[in-house]
Amino acid sequence: MVEHEEVTVERSGGNVFADLGFKEPEEALVKATLVTQIQLVVKERNLTQVQAGKLVGMDQPTISAMLRGQISRFSVERLLRVLTDLGQDVELRITPALGGKGRLHVAA
């Protein structure tokens, strides 16, 4: 007979970085979303890491780290510049918060 361990499941609050206790979870989620968009553009354009790196001013090991999700190495500003260097328009919109502190959000 196989014994089964009881598993506890918690519902996510919508931000995995907050769920995991990251210090700046909204910023981490923004960075992860931006990197996901960069990955999509690189894939859609069939760029090698070397080609993508030349377009954005990074060497291959640095672009590789970014594409593998090492988001702490990059600022939001740098990731936005990568997207524009890859030919993407980026629009920032500022609106009043619905109460209390505002939030960071990327709509892709």
d(CA 8, CA 91): 40
Write the CATH number for 21: 1.10.260.40
Q: Regarding predicted confidence, which is higher, 105 or 44? A: 44
Domain-located, residue 103 = no
pLDDT (tens digit per residue) in 61-77: 999 999 999 998 999 99
d(CA 33, CA 15): 11
pLDDT (tens digit per residue) in 18-51: 888 888 888 999 999 999 999 999 999 999 999 9
Domain-located, residue 68 = yes
Domain-located, residue 61 = yes
98: exposed, middle or buried (Cβ count in 10 Å: 0-12, 13-18, 19+): exposed
Domain-located, residue 20 = yes
- pTM for the full predicted model: 0.82
Range of the structural domain that residue 23 is part of: 16-85
Residue 1, pLDDT > 80, answer no
